[in-house]
Amino acid sequence: MSDFSEEVTKPISEDDQVETSVLTGTGMYFPWLQKHLETVVIWRLGSEILFYHPKSNVETFSTFADRMKNIGVLNYLKISLQHALYLLHHGLLEDANRNLSQAETWRYGEKSSSQEILINLVQAYKGLLQYYTWSKKKTELSKLDEDDYAYSTATQNMLSESWKTSVNICALIKTPGVWDPFVKSYVEMLEFCGDQDEAQKILTNYAYDEKFPSNPNAHIYLHNFLKREKAPRAKLLNVLKILYQIVPSHKLMLEFHMLLKKSEKEEHRKLGLEVLFGVLDFAGCTKNITAWKYLAKYLRQLLMENHLVWVQEE
């Protein structure tokens, strides 16, 4: 091992431990608070250094992470999660899963709401690892003959595994936040199990619940699901209309235009023109040949229908 790694992984001696404290505005000293603050700073700074240092390695990072977990119990879950993500980055899925399993059962003091969210996050990442394995099996399943006995057996195993994985992810995605990879994975497994109703419920809640932050992807996922389910045009229009208000330059706006163009409502057909101009107003879309072709064709149609005013307004 290099001198750098030996320095990081050597045991802490009594001489290295210096008792410090924080002086509050009232003049009171809290040694434990200073220790807590220093742990946070040391962990974040240290992990960044070890992530990018040319002489660092997985063993060094893991030793440092374990030491930080033991020193700063209040940040045990956060450190464990970051440690697991580091292991994932290096392709060590089994080590990451083992790390998350240890964190999942960890408790310190009374269970707080913030601690509960972190535990849910740890469980969800564990579920995401399980989904990765499940997804590979799904790919293998698609290569089998549906009439084959092996196909039936593999399907039953995947149904059982998807249920176990869903349990780990379910709690997190009910908490307000941006959980795109978890939601996508959960919905894919629900669809595989044939529970389209629950999948739609999850996606609708993710897109429309006001407690969740505004997230274009939530509306994209819902649209794609509804399209797979061959939902009525009105439902697709409603979803894309909200996406248009958030990201008017999104590639789905061309599909939105086509749906509006086919509508019998005049307000929809007028909006269809507005959508095209909105797309082409963005610098990144000015060379979108498809959008220009749609505009040229639609302009001819509208002018033939005596909608010159709509064109002039745009």
The percent of residues above 90 in pLDDT, for the chain, comes to 49
Distance in angstroms (rounded) separating the CA atoms of residues 224 and 221: 5
136 has a pLDDT exceeding 80: yes
CA neighbor of 237 nearest in space, from 222, 251, 247, 249? 222
The pLDDT of residue 3 is: 54
* Most confident region among 41-45, 109-113, 133-137 by mean pLDDT: 133-137
The DSSP bridge pattern shows strands 29-30 and 22-23 to be: antiparallel
The mean pLDDT value of the chain amounts to 84
Q: Which of 23-32, 122-131, 253-262 has the lowest mean pLDDT?
A: 23-32
Mean pLDDT of 13-29: 43
Contact by Cβ (8 Å): 165, 182: no
pLDDT greater at residue 175 or residue 105: 175
Q: Which residues of 31-65 are buried (b: 16+ CB within 10 A; e: fewer)?
A: eeeebbeebeeebeebbeebeeeeebeeebbbbbb
CA angle 288, 290, 291 (to 5 degrees): 70
The pTM of this model reads 0.80
CA neighbor of 128 nearest in space, from 74, 78, 183, 51? 183
The pLDDT of residue 14 is: 44
pLDDT band at 5 (very low <50, low <70, confident <90, very high): low
- Check the CA dihedral 73-180-167-170 and report its sign: positive
- Please tell me whether residue 56 adopts helix, strand or coil conformation: coil
Mean pLDDT of 43-58: 84
pLDDT band at 196 (very low <50, low <70, confident <90, very high): very high
